[in-house]
Amino acid sequence: MKPATQHHSLECPLRPEALTRIAVLALVTSLASFGSVTVHAQSQWTPARTYPPTTSFQKVAFGNGRFVATASAAGLPVVLTSRDGLAWSDPLPAPAESDFDLHLKFVRDRFFLFQQEGVWTSTEGAAWTRFNLPQGFGPLGITHDGSRYVVVGEDAAGGGGSAFATSTNGLDWVVSSFHIFRFTFRDVAAFTNAETGWEGWRKTIAVTGAYNAKFSGDQGYILNLPRDEVGWWLMPATLAASAGGSQVAALHSISVDPYGTFVVAGDSNLGPFLGRLEEFYTGSDSRILSSWTRFDSRILSLAHGNGLFLALSGRTVLTSVDGVGWSREGTLPFDADSAAIAGGDGIFVVVAGNTAFYSTHDGRPRLGSLSNYGRWGSCECLSAVGLPGHTVAIESSVDLKEWHQVAFSISGRVDFENRDSSIWQWPRRFYRATQR
């Protein structure tokens, strides 16, 4: 029997000044910025487990085949674990002394639990070991760039201010001489292309904002940290010029996919937004946030899992292939001051209030938004994501009748970059993603 083929289509006018529209299997919405929000068939978010009202979830992360979440239970920090997103453990005492500003992140091969008072690591979320940091260094973000740990935070021992520290073994640390006193580092992410090992493919990006990650009127910044720690540079994060050169007030989180796409969440004078960092170089910031989408509710969580960027805007669940076009995947039944999202092994988990919600990947391929700029310069660029282990293809058509395959991959993701000038002879072109 021939395997079933699933489709997700995109109508894309080739003239760059025209709007990109989602067609056939998606609905068209007006663009409030360069990004777009579409509505797919609403995913079913099932309450997996509800804890007593005195329990309030804070964070969730996926790694090593399991979900780990943090929560406050009657004012005490606890940890909860699940292998499938449905069956959750009873609360386990967390090693932290308080539940204030407690962060959780999966880095490299283990979970990291951290706050100003310290850092702890665990491979399964039950037994935790204290992670050594420089004395007086309060972590707010941690990552690994393939050969070393990078931590950003507040350096009380070094005269105060925000700084970063690096270590190859987690024991011996070097604290940067570079400090910021007006802003606070909020998060950090790193990408390394293990296949090429080329230094240009190794990026570590940190973001700054107000300490409480809310609109403060201050300018957010993006720090590019090279491996030699000599050529670092800091640039202001400003939304695209067509939005009036809007100031970014605070950047409070950053996430990166396995292909080197960085996405940030922040607040501006236009409201909360999600934006993709374009290819950028020292001294040139004209494209740094040229692809962004504004939302009405604050971005509570940003992550990457199951081949997709995941976000929560208020109680709306969002997914994106490329960090530009976002799809609504459902709405939680209540508002929560603290909520988080994670994904892995085809499962999505949202924790909010005292409830853990569960959903599964619907199996359909997802098509990203058309971009005029790719990894190697100007082009007609498009990405599609499907289930791991499946063949995913991008097909094009000028009449919605005859379709031609333009790119495919057996890895569950495919990228298409078209630099053929002949394509401009057509008034418009349609794209769709297929999966077998």
pLDDT digits (tens), the chain, 436 positions: 444 555 554 444 333 322 222 223 322 222 334 566 766 555 678 999 999 988 999 999 999 999 999 999 988 999 999 999 999 999 999 999 888 889 999 999 999 999 888 899 999 999 999 998 888 888 989 999 888 899 988 888 767 778 888 898 888 898 887 777 777 888 999 887 654 444 444 678 888 765 433 334 456 778 777 655 555 667 777 776 555 556 677 888 999 998 888 999 988 888 899 998 875 544 444 456 778 889 999 999 999 999 999 999 999 999 999 998 899 988 888 888 889 999 999 999 999 999 999 999 877 888 888 766 555 455 677 889 988 778 899 998 888 889 999 888 888 888 887 755 555 555 677 889 998 8
* Residues 6+ away with beta carbon under 8 Å from 266: 207, 209, 220, 237, 248, 249, 250, 251, 252, 272, 273, 275, 299
3-state class (DSSP) for residue 173: coil
- The single residue listed with the structure tokens 């994060």 is 237
Residue whose C-alpha is closest to residue 239's, from 281, 210, 271? 271
| 248 Rama sector, left if φ>0, alpha if ψ -120 to 50, beta otherwise | beta
Task: Name the region of 86 (left: φ>0; alpha: ψ -120 to 50; beta: rest).
Answer: alpha
Report the C-alpha gap between 84 and 249 in whole angstroms: 38
pTM (2 d.p.):
0.86
Domain annotation for the chain: domains and CATH numbers: 6-41+367-435 (no CATH), 46-364 (2.130.10.10)
How far is the CA of 13 from the CAs of 408, 415, 429, in angstroms? 22, 19, 6
The DSSP string of 88-119 is -PPPEE-SSS--TT-EEEEETTEEEEEETTEE
CB 19 within 8 A of CB 35: no
CB 309 within 8 A of CB 302: yes
